Amino acid sequence: MGIYFLRRVLATIPVMAVVALFVFSLLYIAPGDPAAVIAGDQASPEQIAHIRASLGLDRPFIVRFGDWLWHIVHGDLGTSIFTNLPVSHMIAQRIEPTLSLMILTLVVSLVIAIPMGVVAAWKQGKWQDRLIMVFAVLGFSTPVFVIGYVLAFVFALQLRWLPVQGFVPIEQGFWPFLRTLILPAFTLGGIYIALIARITRASMLDVLSQDYVRTARAKGLGERPVLFVHALKNAAVPIVTVVGLGVALLIGGAVVTESVFAIPGLGRLTVDAILRRDYPVIQGVVLLFSFVYVLVNLAIDLLYTVFDPRIRY
């Protein structure tokens, strides 16, 4: 297990190198010029050329890539072209909101989706199953921003229970912190709940038809222990896989959710950087997301051994 873990961690290095090359090349060939955006609408072409040169954006691809890579391997993600702040500082400022949002969304989604999936499987073909599946289809098909607007309209503007926008760091109090994240978490969680509920249902249906479940029922176990102790544990591997894969979904959804609720997270940082062509920030954030995704996948692989002792690395 230890060797497997080490091997997987080492395997992230070539993966990250490929990601780095890909991201840098993509941004190099993509249209856009940060110097023009910096200078503003009224700057002359001559002034823009001056700014471009002062930022080193007129250097050849290989020089810029080599320079960037050299800094990366020394742990320096570079400096934002626009704010002149270190990219690592900007990312550090934005991690708490995004991480909080993703963790809360994950908790909310698992707490809601797994019981929904279990109930749907247990009551297969009945109204409970159909109702849950209708909800799942709605969750899949409704865009995140629509859910966000509806929730904000009802719970923030009409009922005034929760704020419309913003983020309060946890050090300013747990409840103020939580208040700002409830609506975004439910917004972002919509599609995730739908996904996990459907996978849980499918996986549970498969497990519930197994002999050992029939045996458990035959020996007189109640439905709750059958469902949640015997069946759910054996259905967990596909669910955990989807939860892991869904992290990418959460990252994508966080971009929209953070914009709708004005949360200063990594998603908004990414969008702002893309619109301005702030290359060092885009590169830094994409590298970070890729690294997180690789780590999440590793964690999922390791979790398999917990749910299924037959799996060995």
Partner 1 sequence: MKRRAFLQAAATTAALLPLSAPRIGHAAETRLLKFIPQADLAILDPIWTTAYVTRNHGFLVFDTLFGIDAQFRPQLQMLESAGAEADGTIWRLRLRDGLKFHDGEPVLARDCVASIQRWGKRDAFGSALLEASDEISAADDRTIVFRLKQPFPLLPDALGKAASNMPAMMPERLAKTDPFTAVTEMVGSGPYRFKTSERVPGSLVVYERFNDYRPRENGTPEWISGPKIAHFDRIEWHVVPDSATAAGALQSGEVDWWEQPSFDLLGLLKGDGNVVVAQIDPTGFPSLARFNHLWPPFDNPAIRQALLGAVSESDEMTAVAGTDTSLWRGDLGYFPPASPMASAAGMEVLRAPRDYEKVKRDLAAAGYKGERVVAMIATDFPVLNAMGVVGADMLKRAGLNVDVQATDWGTVVQRRAKKDSPASGGWSVFFTSFSGLDQFTPAGYIALRGNGDKAWFGWPTAPKLEALRDQWFAAPDLAAQKKICEDIQRQAFIDVPFLPLGLYYQPTAHRSNVTDLLKGLPLFWNVRKT
Write out the residues near partner 1 by the rule CB under 8 A.
31-33, 36-48, 50-51, 53-54, 80, 82-85, 90, 93-94, 149, 152-153, 156-157, 160, 163-166, 259-262, 264, 268-269, 271-272, 275-278
Q: Which helix (H) or strand (E) element contains residue 7? A: helix 2-29
Closest distance of CB 268 from partner 1, Å = 6
| CB 107 to partner 1: min, Å | 24
In the complex, minimum distance from the CB of residue 36 to partner 1, in angstroms, rounded to a whole number: 4
Toward partner 1, which CB reaches closer, 46 or 211? 46
Nearer to partner 1, 89 or 126 (CB): 89
* Residue 175 CB neighbour total at 10 angstroms: 9
Which of 238/264 has CB closer to partner 1?
A: 264
Angle, helix 266-276 to helix 87-122, in steps of 10 degrees? 120
- As a whole number of Å, the CA-based R_g of the chain is 24
Q: Which is nearer to partner 1, 34 or 117 (CB)?
A: 34
Answer whether 184's CB lies under 8 Å from 177's CB.
Answer: no
Minimal distance in Å, beta carbon 56 to partner 1? 12
C-beta of 163: minimal distance to partner 1 in Å? 6
- How far, in Å, CA of 261 to CA of 252, rounded? 15
Please identify, using beta-carbon distances, which residue of 163 and 284 lies nearer to partner 1: 163
**Cα angle value 47/53/56 (rounded, 5°):** 145
Specify burial of residue 156 (Cβ count, 10 A radius: 0-12, 13-18, 19+): middle
